[in-house]
Structure 1
Amino acid sequence: MTKGGSAVPFRFDDKEAEQAYVVHERTQRIPATRFLCAIAVATLITYIGFNPMHFPRDGVIEYNIAAGLMIAVLGATFAATYTRFYVERPWVDIIIFSVLAVPMVMLLEALAAQADITGISRFGMAIVQLGILVVFASVGFVASLRNFLIWAAALVTLYLIFLLEADRSIVSKVYTFTNFTTFLTFATFVNWDIDRRARKTWEANRALEAERAKVEEMLHNVLPQDVAERLRKGEAVADSFADVSVIFVDIVGFSQLAKALSPGRLVKMLNEIFLLADEAAEKHCVEKVKTIGDAYLAVAGGHGSGDSGASCAIRFGCELIDLIGRYADRTKIDVQVRVGIHTGPVVGGVIGQQRLAYDYWGDTMNIASRIEGIAHPGGIAVSESVYYGANEEVDFSEPELATLKGVGEVKIYRVIMPE
């Protein structure tokens, strides 16, 4: 059996996949295995109580010894299903059923000795007992048809030796062997079909899980994990944040760059710059919100931010400006960015059902955008609220009064970029 199909029977080519299937299937089939053991024990106990009413004392003792040994083996098998060893090593089934064959032969001999009472000859009893054993094994061998076939081949060999040494006519031997192999063929088919179906189901579920994981990864790339969970539950996602640092990044002179570069080269440059921004955002625990044309919007202190606050936002801005400078030196493209940051209350949430994204709204977003517009190329301008949140960790220039469109006169500070 291959990773993507079932061209070869018995097992998967991938060893890790095979082991994972074995552990899964044997774990799933444990209740059925325990039930089989319990049914077999109950049947033996019933006969132990029934036989004294019909068998002579010696016959009862002989049967009870064999039945007691078989009950012990079945009990040990029942107990083994609680161990990791049983789950991880399917070859243990060969040992279990080889040991079970011993008390089964003892039961056969005990019952054959009572042929006058039961009306079943030794040969007939052999077919019955061994038939029960192979049918039981067809279900008891879990997640390994190959092991079942190895055990069955050994059993057939021993049975052939038994027949060849028996004082019976050739016709009797042929019919007896045919009857036994009919049981065995049926048991083999049952074991094969159960394993075949289980492997197909497991492989389909594994492929489904892989696709689900891809969808989860894609979803978490556009939505914070807790937001994705809430959407799955059918909840409306709307949150209020009292203190979020909003970061606007804009490419300086983008219109001129658009005229100078071919469309393909321009898109490639934007992609490379935004990838650098994503790298810096991940490093400084900043949450990317979206790109708007040639602008990059992010927040510190929102849903996806492990760290939060003005200092985190400024570290992101400094890192990005440095990365863009290196990019410009490497590509010989005269590209710079400017960064504007403002801290204040925002509302966040998800709107609509298509192309889902967690977005933020509020005056804080608008003010941050306006501040970005007055930042110097390769520089960071911040509001007074950002200054008070980061002045113990970051060096700023003296405050300036600036009139922002739609906002009015505000006090701004410029980050003194590290050397």
Structure 2
Amino acid sequence: MPDASGSAIAMSRPGLFSRFADDQTERRYSERARTLRLPFVRLYGVIFMVVALAYSIVNPIFLASVDNAQLAIMLGLALLTCGAYIGTTFWDGYVRHAVIDFIALLALSILVGRINVLLMEHLASLNQGLHVIGVINKLIIVAFAAVTLAGMPRSFLIWLACDFLIWFAQITSGQPQLSAVVYAALSFSSGALIMAAINLAVGRTSRAAFQLADSLDAERARNEELVLNMLPPAAVDRIRSGLLVADSYADASVIFIDMVGFSTLAKRVSPGHLVEMLNGFFNHADACARQFGVEKVKTVGDAYLAIAGGNVASGNSADAAIAFARAVIAGVPEMGRSAGVEVGLRAGIHSGPVVGGVIGETRMAYDYWGDTVNIAARLDGTAPANGIAISEITWLRARDRTGFDKPVTINLKGVGDVDVYIAQPPLAGKLDDAA
């Protein structure tokens, strides 16, 4: 997510050593995987410290003072290193820096290797050939690294190679018998190979799981965007809570904008051309709505219905509605050039109370009702080409009344006589006003 950002992820199955093609996706995967492994890392660190303390308690019972002092120093360093490592995991930037794991685990492995050498020397002095203890102790660290560095197989193999070389140098420093070295190397190598397989398996499955989860997150984000494109956020929250969505707004301004001569135009151009023109008109109106804080309600045929003072706060609703209508109509020349034919728009605005809400359970949309909506639709039909017709209520509510002519009384169907103020911009064309 995309992230809910919506970033694309290739849906092919990840290979053993593959990375996501997009660096940002690879980084998000690494940080998420390391975050999920944090409890394991801390738990292992605590277990390691408990075991180290147990060795510190047991060693004085069986070892001479000199040997015990050397082991005490190594165990103390191991405890400090592990404690610092655990502390680092609580740093906010820990998940962004995988090198912390690499260095800390290698340091712990070196210290454990040195502790093992001292223990094996003690056992050798007792004629006890228990080199397997050292191998097991080393493989415990390797197992931790295999899981901690899962998803980063190259880093793990480099770490494993460094660990093996340091460990091999430690066990051969005392000129042991060749057979002992061979068997110890075979024991360590066989265990290390198993741990490498575990590292690859965990890494591959975690990448696949991340890929699936990220795809689901991206799809969920797209669905959320679609829902919020149709419904206000507050309405979505109420619907999810099972509540009825019904609101009243006492001071809203409703805007109807449609294309002049649409019926005639539909007969002149192809269906594809007509859809392209409408799409250009609606996209331009959407951009203007965002600019002036006006809420798009819906489109009906060639008409665009919007409202100021509804779910979207817009200050003076009349001023916002008029500014929005002027901005939409100002785009007529560009729409005409893009369409290749003469285009005209007209707008009607009326202010007053409205009721808004969501009705039904399928294809839901937030709609508005009331006389204010009906009157705005009627006023739209009285506006000239590329002009705006507003009611007296809107004119009185507005602070910017420039560009409007003196009122004319017009009889609106189903409404009666209404004083209408008309603004005819300079770009008005000679289009036929027939709908």
TM-score w.r.t. the length of structure 2 is 0.87
**1:252 partner letter:** V
Q: 1:85 to 1:242 in 2, by over 3 A?
A: closer
Alpha-carbon distance in 1 for matches of 2:392, 2:231 = 30
Deviation at 1:310, TM superposition (A): 0.7
* 1:229-271 Cα shifts (integer Å, max 9, x gaps): 3333333221111111011123222222223333333333222
Alpha-carbon distance in 2 for matches of 1:319, 1:56 = 91
**1:26 partner letter:** R
Q: Look up the match of 2:276.
A: 268
Once the two structures are superposed, the pairs formed by residues 36-185 of structure 1 within 5 Å of their partners are 36-84=44-92, 86-115=94-123, 120-121=128-129, 123-141=131-149, 143-161=151-169, 171-185=179-193
Contact conserved, 1:336 with 1:377, CA < 8 A, in 2? yes
Contact conserved, 1:90 with 1:144, CA < 8 A, in 2? no
Contact conserved, 2:247 with 2:357, CA < 8 A, in 1? yes
Q: Look up the match of 2:200.
A: 192
Alpha-carbon distance in 1 for matches of 2:259, 2:22 = 49
Q: Look up the match of 2:394.
A: 386
Q: 1:315 to 1:174 in 2, by over 3 A?
A: same
Q: Look up the match of 1:245.
A: 253
Per the alignment, in what secondary structure is the counterpart of residue 49 of structure 1? helix
**Identity fraction in percent:** 36
**1:253 partner letter:** G
Deviation at 1:195, TM superposition (A): 1.9
Alpha-carbon distance in 1 for matches of 2:176, 2:399 = 104
Q: Look up the match of 1:367.
A: 375
Q: Look up the match of 2:6.
A: none
> Matched residue pairs, number?
419
Contact conserved, 1:93 with 1:147, CA < 8 A, in 2? no
Deviation at 1:218, TM superposition (A): 2.0
Per the alignment, in what secondary structure is the counterpart of residue 306 of structure 2? strand
5+ residue gaps, structure 2: 1-8, 428-435
Once the two structures are superposed, the pairs formed by residues 263-412 of structure 1 within 5 Å of their partners are 263-304=271-312, 306=314, 308-328=316-336, 331=339, 333-412=341-420
Deviation at 1:354, TM superposition (A): 2.2
* 1:280-328 Cα shifts (integer Å, max 9, x gaps): 3222222111111222211111114545511111112222222224433
5+ residue gaps, structure 1: none
Deviation at 1:372, TM superposition (A): 1.7
Q: Look up the match of 2:32.
A: 24
Q: Relative contact order, CA 8 A, sep 6+: which one is greater?
A: 2
Alpha-carbon distance in 2 for matches of 1:250, 1:128 = 80
**1:198 partner letter:** S
RMSD: 2.8
Contact conserved, 1:400 with 1:411, CA < 8 A, in 2? yes
* 1:193-242 Cα shifts (integer Å, max 9, x gaps): 22222221122222112212222222222222333333333332211111
* 1:72-92 Cα shifts (integer Å, max 9, x gaps): 111121122123553222133
Q: Look up the match of 2:15.
A: 7
**2:135 partner letter:** I
Contact conserved, 1:10 with 1:146, CA < 8 A, in 2? no
**1:316 partner letter:** F
Per the alignment, in what secondary structure is the counterpart of residue 287 of structure 2? helix
**2:66 partner letter:** D
